[in-house]
Amino acid sequence: MHHFDWLTGFIFPYINFAIFFILAVKFFRKPLLDMMAKRRVEFENLVNEADKARRDAEAKSQELQHRLTNLDQEIRRIVDEGRTNAEREAAALVAKANSVAEQIQIEVKRTAEAEVKAARDQLRREIVQQISDNISKRLLEVGDGDHTMIITQQVKEFANLKSGA
């Protein structure tokens, strides 16, 4: 039969483990707590930065939406003003043509219509150039994710201007 030594086989290993555990807690507790506190601060900073970035993005989005609304109004005003001016010019040309002979009247009317068309075409080119310049500016100001949305909106506006005129 085999004899078991309780002191060296059972008690000393547990005493050694208890001494090791107490020393490990004594030497490693503060560095571990410091490291965990540092990680918590870093995490909180990242969360705060992400929240600030989200708020900034929302503010920028609202600003761009406001600018886009104002841009639409300005485009409508320019188009309406151009149409009004073109119609006024056409009416003046037609009134002059009525005071002259019938043959001259037909020629003047044709000329007025050509000028109105040219004025509208020129106005369209200027509006397209202005929209293009504004799109370029806005694309430089916004993030990559917004480029597709802005381009899609502007293409729809171009289509509306084309079909409306």
Per the CB < 8 A criterion, the answer to whether 134 and 71 are in contact is yes
What is the pLDDT at residue 35? 93
What confidence score (pLDDT) does residue 59 get?
93
Tell me the pLDDT of the chain (165 aa) as tens digits: 577 787 777 889 999 999 999 999 899 989 989 999 999 999 999 999 999 999 999 999 998 888 888 887 888 888 898 889 888 888 887 776 666 567 877 888 889 888 989 998 898 888 778 877 876 776 677 666 666 777 777 777 777 776 665
Instruction: Quickly count: other Cβ atoms within 10 Å of residue 84's Cβ.
Output: 10
Angle made by CA atoms 129, 130, 136, in degrees to the nearest 5: 90
Give me the count of residues in the chain.
165
Counting Cα atoms < 13 Å in the Cβ hemisphere of 59 gives 6
What's residue 129's pLDDT?
A: 83
86, amino acid identity: A
What is the C-alpha separation between 56 and 67, in angstroms, rounded? 16
Q: What is the pLDDT of residue 145?
A: 64
What pLDDT sits at residue 38?
95
Count Cβ atoms below 10 Å from residue 112 Cβ, excluding itself. 19
CA dist 72 and 66 (Å) reads: 10
Predicted pLDDT at 127: 79
Retrieve residue 33's tokens.
Answer: 């707590």
Q: Which tokens in the block code for residue 153?
A: 């909106």
3-class DSSP state of 142: coil
